[in-house]
A and B are shown apart, each in its own frame.
Chain A
Amino acid sequence: MSQVTQLIHQYLRHNKRFPHVFCPGCGHGIVLGSLVRSVHNADLSKDEVCLVAGIGCSGRMAVYVDFNTVHTTHGRALTFATGIKMANPELTVICVMGDGDALSIGGNHLIHAARRNVGITALILNNNIYGMTGGQCSSTTPMGARSMTTPHGQLENTFDIAELAKVAGANYVARSTAFHAKMMDAQITAALTRPGFSLVEAFSPCHTQYGRKNKFRTVVDMYQDLKTRSMPMDKWNETDPAKRGDKFPVGVFVERDEPGLEERYAAMSAGLRAKEASA
């Protein structure tokens, strides 16, 4: 354990940035730890990494980690990240967003970043709620669930983040939960080392704003729920859809090696210049 802690400490900004804002039981710290281990595993230096974050609880990660960090506007983190990656393709650009950030206000940017297949790793911390603004429903709040803005139950359908990214054209899509930290490490590491657009969805429980309004008596109940409802991808594929019930798949959804936008752009640009030089 002490080794793990030491490793994480190397990557944090200790000066004035702590204690952090995450509530007791929040899954965000686990995801942050996993992100740090993945950067370490991928053998990246702190200078090579640019972490772009949106607004909300997950957005605060940008202040804590000692990379190049940009804390952007609500829902638009991917647009900044696209500009940074295209301006300097050498950088490993990671974009951290919450579910409200990435899917509600920023839904359009997410599908287009995936369609472009621009070389960014999007890490979406899905807690099914707007945490920092006080527990309003997001576009992943399950139907029937209660929140500050759905006091009588949520009526709308929800987005499946991983499925959405898959059909939009992302190179790599995976899902894990704060209960599956080892799986998450492997997924984020894979995402960081692949070309094109990668997306890792991490279920991260929010007991303060979501759990206590939705019959989870304790934080432990929420983690227990992630454990019992999750189903590994291969088992999910073998299971008859009628028998899947309220389970959800975890694992890798898509794995492709298509070149990223920045790579295709560089090739086009080189071609144009060669043509001009020979003319």
Chain B
Amino acid sequence: MAQKARRKNKELFALGNEAVVEGALLAGCTFFAGYPITPSSEIMEGMAQRLPCSEDGVFIQMEDEIASLGAVIGASLAGRKAMTATSGPGFSLMQEHVGYACMAEAPCVIVNVMRGGPSTGLPTSPAQGDVQMARWGTHGDHPIIVLSASTVQECLEMTIVAFNFSEKYRVPVILLIDEVTAHTREKITIPSEREYEIFSRVLPSMPPEWFKPFEETTRGVPPMAPIGSGYRIHVTGLTHDPMGYPTQRPDEVEEFTHRLFRKIDQHFPDIVITEEHNTKDAEVAVVAYGSVARSARLAVDQAREQGIKAGLLHLKTLFPFPRAAVEKLTRRGAAILVPEMNMGQMSREVKRVNSGRVRVRTINRVDGLIITPSQILKNIAQM
């Protein structure tokens, strides 16, 4: 089990969804609440199998997705590392509670295995249509962290990263996976305990009567006391003062909202994860994420073989948007190609950062099929 110290690497032939389960358990997740939905169900099923076998693992199947994220936030407030997994329509239902988690600064991880949409859409076909919903799905101004994974191994690694970020910054972290990655089975290596770092939320060290649960700190992230630990706190979805009580005083409201943004802004370099492949001398740079990044990598290698100077910027963090990495490409004058399985949700961000400096071309596929290396290669050759 995950709780036993593992000194050696272990290899596994797993689905992307199963790798998420492994990653969550390694990260210290002890609470899962969810509602079944294709193509994410294997995550929930894996948790149902594993969590009750461990000392303090709790699994519960809720009546819908709204309830699932509600229970996850409740568990998080009670001190657990908690997660839920869903797909497009379920993620739509969760949005109000995503906002609550931002407001209450309750760490939690939401895995969204994307399928075609809108509405019930294409239940088992790949798509990347939830990128902007992950960023802007709930109402109001708030920052959020959105990550993605492109291989089964990355599903495991990015799940650990998702838990770490959510605990470090007290934000809900959304992990977007597309159906191709979730349902690909390949060999992965489960790292030994020494190979990855695990973060847990900072607990208060002062006596309860001195504790201000939502006070500004140098990191912007206040320490968090679990319910029942003797720090009697008030948690609310209303805008609150440093004590956690509702406030409408303009100075307190502004200060609070700014802190929510600052705690993420301040840690950009830590949060923004990208991977570059042959971009140094690239004349054509492909910007991709998820399973498409994998196709793009092969296409870039094939283009190099044909003598085209192509490179790949692989985005693992989608939000906060890795603008510095994209800016670097545009300053070098590389033409940019953004392939994605939607009508242009990420190319919009790329174009915004580019501000018209270089040529940006897109490949948008919304027919429920994957973007192949040859399709990307053809487009690279045309640029």
Contact present for A84 and B67 (CB under 8 Å): no
Contact present for A79 and B70 (CB under 8 Å): yes
Segment at the interface with A among B77-85, B169-177, B197-205: B77-85
Within 8 A of B (CB), among A253-272: 265, 268-269, 272
Mostly, the B contact residues are: mixed
Which residues of the partner chain B approach A272 to less than 8 Å between Cβ atoms?
A: 52-53
A67 within 8 A of B: yes
A26 within 8 A of B: no
Q: Tell which of A63, A80, A112, A273 touches B73, judged by Cβ atoms closer than 8 Å.
A: A80
Q: Tell which of B1, B100, B233 touches A73, judged by Cβ atoms closer than 8 Å.
A: B100
Shortest C-beta distance, B358 to chain A (Å), equals 44
What 4 pairs across the A-B complex have the smallest Cβ distances?
A83-B74, A79-B70, A83-B71, A87-B78
Contact present for B78 and A88 (CB under 8 Å): yes
Contact present for B60 and A82 (CB under 8 Å): yes
Shortest C-beta distance, B247 to chain A (Å), equals 9
Interface residues of B (CB under 8 A from A): 1, 31, 33, 52-55, 57-58, 60, 62-64, 66-80, 82, 96-97, 100, 226-228, 230, 232-238, 243, 245-246
Max chain A C-beta neighbours (<10 A), residue from B53, B57, B63, B69: B63
**When A68-B228, A70-B235, A83-B82 are in contact, do A268 and B52 touch as well, CB less than 8 Å?**
yes
Q: How far is the CA of A48 from the CA of B234 in the complex (A)?
A: 14
Q: How far is the CA of A71 from the CA of B232 in the complex (A)?
A: 13
Shortest C-beta distance, B224 to chain A (Å), equals 13
Q: Tell which of B1, B52, B62 touches A265, judged by Cβ atoms closer than 8 Å.
A: B52
Q: Tell which of A52, A70, A81, A83 touches B33, judged by Cβ atoms closer than 8 Å.
A: A83
How many A residues are at the interface, by size bracket?
A: 35 or more
Q: How far is the CA of A76 from the CA of B98 in the complex (A)?
A: 13
Mostly, the A contact residues are: helix
**When A68-B233, A112-B67, A272-B53 are in contact, do A265 and B74 touch as well, CB less than 8 Å?**
no
Which residues of the partner chain B approach A68 to less than 8 Å between Cβ atoms?
A: 227-228, 232-233
A229 within 8 A of B: no
Q: How far is the CA of A87 from the CA of B53 in the complex (A)?
A: 15
Q: Tell which of A13, A47, A79, A276 touches B230, judged by Cβ atoms closer than 8 Å.
A: A47
Contact present for A86 and B100 (CB under 8 Å): no
Which residues of the partner chain A approach B66 to less than 8 Å between Cβ atoms?
A: 76, 79
A50 within 8 A of B: yes
Additional A-B contacts beyond A71-B238, A81-B74 (11; CB < 8 A): A50-B227, A71-B235, A72-B237, A79-B71, A80-B71, A87-B75, A87-B79, A91-B228, A109-B63, A112-B63, A272-B52
Which residues of the partner chain B approach A73 to less than 8 Å between Cβ atoms?
A: 70, 96-97, 100, 237
A69 within 8 A of B: yes
Q: How far is the CA of A12 from the CA of B68 in the complex (A)?
A: 31
Which residues of the partner chain B approach A182 to less than 8 Å between Cβ atoms?
A: none
Shortest C-beta distance, A270 to chain B (Å), equals 10
Contact present for A86 and B67 (CB under 8 Å): no
Shortest C-beta distance, B84 to chain A (Å), equals 10
Q: How far is the CA of A135 from the CA of B233 in the complex (A)?
A: 31
Contact present for B234 and A83 (CB under 8 Å): no
**When A47-B228, A87-B31 are in contact, do A273 and B63 touch as well, CB less than 8 Å?**
no
Which residues of the partner chain B approach A84 to less than 8 Å between Cβ atoms?
A: 74-75, 77-78, 227
A62 within 8 A of B: yes
Chain A, Cβ-Cβ closest to B78: A87
